[in-house]
């Protein structure tokens, strides 16, 4: 069974850093592109970042470019989101989501999410 589990959420300080992790199991993690998606309270889903299955290609939403870094450690089946210079607008539930194989295999599995409230 495919499972994704995020961790690392919790109170973030404005201007400060935070690192999120997502561990995948039940599939060959290294073969799949991965994403972070977030949802602020009462708001729409927002794609944040993606990383290719080799890890050489990364992509970011304009709202986080230059502040967030996505990475992966395939030896640990783990996806990371390194967040810096946090702002109140980063307050959200952060989900990791897998892309299945093929051009259309977007977000086929999601983790339960981890809440990141940002406070001053």
Nearest-approach distance from CB 59 to another protein, in angstroms? 4
Q: Which residue bears the tokens 């980063």?
A: 90
Nearer to another protein, 37 or 118 (CB): 37
Nearest-approach distance from CB 115 to another protein, in angstroms? 12
Nearer to another protein, 43 or 76 (CB): 43
Instruction: Cite the beta strand spans of 10-104 per DSSP E.
Output: 12-13, 18-25, 34-39, 45-51, 58-60, 68-73, 78-83, 92-98
Query: Do 72 and 55 contact (CB within 8 A), yes or no?
Result: yes
Nearer to another protein, 19 or 65 (CB): 65
Nearest-approach distance from CB 107 to another protein, in angstroms? 6
Binding site for another protein (CB under 8 A): 35, 37, 44-47, 50, 59-62, 95, 103-108, 110-113
For residue 69, CA distances in Å to 77, 81, 104 come to 17, 6, 24
Nearest-approach distance from CB 105 to another protein, in angstroms? 7
Nearer to another protein, 102 or 120 (CB): 102
Pairwise CA distance, residues 46 & 63, whole Å: 10
């Amino acid at each position: 069974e495919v499972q994704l589990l995020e961790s690392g959420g919790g109170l973030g300080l404005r201007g400060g850093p935070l690192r999120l992790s997502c561990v995948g199991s039940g599939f060959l993690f290294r073969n799949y592109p991965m994403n972070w998606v977030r949802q602020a309270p009462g708001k729409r889903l927002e794609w944040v970042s993606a990383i290719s299955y080799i890890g050489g290609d990364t992509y970011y939403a304009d709202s986080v470019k230059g502040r967030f870094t996505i990475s992966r450690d395939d030896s640990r089946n783990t996806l990371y989101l390194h967040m810096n210079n946090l702002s109140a607008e980063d307050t959200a539930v952060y989900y990791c989501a897998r892309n299945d194989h093929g051009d259309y295999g977007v977000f086929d599995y999601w983790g339960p999410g981890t809440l990141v409230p940002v406070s001053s």
